[in-house]
Amino acid sequence: MPSEKVIIVHFGELWLRGRNRGSYIKILKKRMIEQLEGEAFRLESLYDRFLIRPDSEESLEGIKSRLSSLFGISTFEVSYETEPNLESIKEAAGRAMDELADFPVRINSHRSHKGFDFTSIDIIKEIVALAESRGIDASNHGYKSNIYVSVTKEKAYITNKKERGLGGLPVGSSGKGVVLLSGGIDSPVAAWYAMKRGVDPIYVHVHAFSNNKDAYDSKILNILDILSKYRKNSIVYLVPSHLFQMAALKSGRYELVLLKSFMLGAAEKIADKENAELIFTGESLGQVASQTASNLRSEQLGIKLPVLRPLVGFDKEEIIKIARAIGTYEESVKEYKDVCSINSRNPKTHTSPEKLKEVIKSTGMRKIISQSLKISSRESARGK
Ligand code: ATP
Ligand code: MG
């Protein structure tokens, strides 16, 4: 029987999870099935890996590209699956060799089952002989490509390339977190890092449109669409900012810190409703006038949930590079009617929590938050 192409998926960090391992793998499997929706394949769960059998060469390519944006996978590879005997292994190695362009090739072999009458050395010798018969240089010195053979009790797997996965933890394995999402560059990157550590994002966007529908039809949905490459079917809350804007008219240079306080307050209420335990923002430290230590402290006055800022250690240049790599940059730099841009151009860089407490009280912030949430909408962030 000729060899068949399969994709083998390795879990990576999931191994570290001891007793929780089973539930992590279950979540990864769920995310993987969601992410591969529309592709034709069969899935087998083995002890330390998944095995995907694509129905066609076309679905194999589709599955490969989707696996590369799935958190919780350390590596994956397209392998030829064949019978565990020297003849079959040689046939599959020949096919794997056909796909290589750079030589010398190094032959690697590993047997997890050692009950056969041939050793790894025998396998390597056979494949080296095959290479030589084709005029191909097979050597460990200065090699430019690899063939890996892995023999189990039931099957042998032969591949010529191990692909790197995204690593991290499967989305959902760290519970839920509210992500404050703007139309800018930073917060989609923060969302990506939250997901990388297993957080299932509930997005909250505060908008300056006169109705939620216009906000939903804006570029925010395009950004969510790109982020859905990493977690499908998440939820977004669209919260109008006009009640806040009216109430904050007289707060002058405090307005920006007050706006953050409004956003965090709304995020916390939504977190309560959605059973989320964390809040994420795309803030860094000292990046813009409003992101000083003192402002970060003041804006989260009264917020009980942890406010996590995954970008705190990054320079803007670094964030831009990541935004490009994850695919959100292009959309983020498109023009947008952002709430922050209509605020004070000369924000306070130092706010005392005491002073802010007064301002929060005098603007009737709690009421404004609950009224704004009443007119907010909860939508699927499925994308266009
Ligand atoms: P970003 O690029 O994410 O917009 P920024 O550099 O523009 O960030 P700020 O405008 O101070 O910085 O925003 C800091 C953070 O506050 C954002 O990363 C986001 O988490 C949150 N935020 C800002 N505007 C909004 C908004 N309209 N809706 C929800 N969250 C927002
Ligand atoms: Mg912004």
SS3 for 153?
Answer: coil
pLDDT for position 356 = 87
d(CA 322, CA 329): 8
77 CA from centroid of ligand 1 (Å): 38
Closest C-alpha residue for ligand 1 atom 25: 182
* Domains of the chain, earliest start first: 4-164 (3.30.2130.30), 176-380 (3.40.50.620)
**Which atom of ligand 1 has the smallest separation from the CA of 332?**
2
**Which atom of ligand 1 has the smallest separation from the CA of 179?**
20
170 CA from centroid of ligand 1 (Å): 26
Mean pLDDT estimate for the chain: 93
Q: Could you write out the three-class secondary structure of 272-334?
A: HHHCCCEEECCCCCCCCCCCCHHHHHHHCCCCCCCEECCCCCCCHHHHHHHHHHHCCHHHHCC
- Helix (H) or strand (E) holding 358, with range, is helix 353-363
Cis previous bond, 188, omega within 30:
no
pLDDT band at 344 (very low <50, low <70, confident <90, very high): low
pLDDT for position 341 = 57
Q: Which of 119-123, 245-249, 260-264, 298-302 has the lowest mean pLDDT?
A: 245-249
pLDDT for position 345 = 63
Closest C-alpha residue for ligand 1 atom 30: 180
Model confidence over 91-101: pLDDT tens digits? 999 999 999 99
271 lines ligand 1 (CB under 6 A): no
- Helix (H) or strand (E) holding 54, with range, is strand 49-54
User: Nearest-CA neighbor of 237 among 212, 219, 254?
Assistant: 212
C-beta of residue 214 within 8 angstroms of C-beta of residue 256 = no
* Higher pLDDT pick, 256 / 348: 256
Q: In sequence order, which residues have a C-beta less than 8 Å from that of residue 81 and are 6 or more positions away?
A: 3, 4, 5, 6, 92, 155, 156, 157
- Helix (H) or strand (E) holding 207, with range, is strand 200-207
165 lines ligand 1 (CB under 6 A): no
d(CA 67, CA 49): 14
79 lines ligand 1 (CB under 6 A): no
206 lines ligand 1 (CB under 6 A): yes
288 lines ligand 1 (CB under 6 A): yes
C-beta of residue 116 within 8 angstroms of C-beta of residue 86 = no
- Helix (H) or strand (E) holding 189, with range, is helix 186-196
260 CA from centroid of ligand 1 (Å): 9
* Higher pLDDT pick, 348 / 35: 35
Model confidence over 33-83: pLDDT tens digits? 999 999 999 999 988 899 999 999 889 999 999 999 999 999 999 999 999
How far apart, in Å, do the first and last CA atoms of the chain sit? 45
pLDDT for position 42 = 97
339 CA from centroid of ligand 2 (Å): 8
Mean pLDDT within 370-382: 95
User: Nearest-CA neighbor of 9 among 112, 159, 155?
Assistant: 159
d(CA 183, CA 46): 42
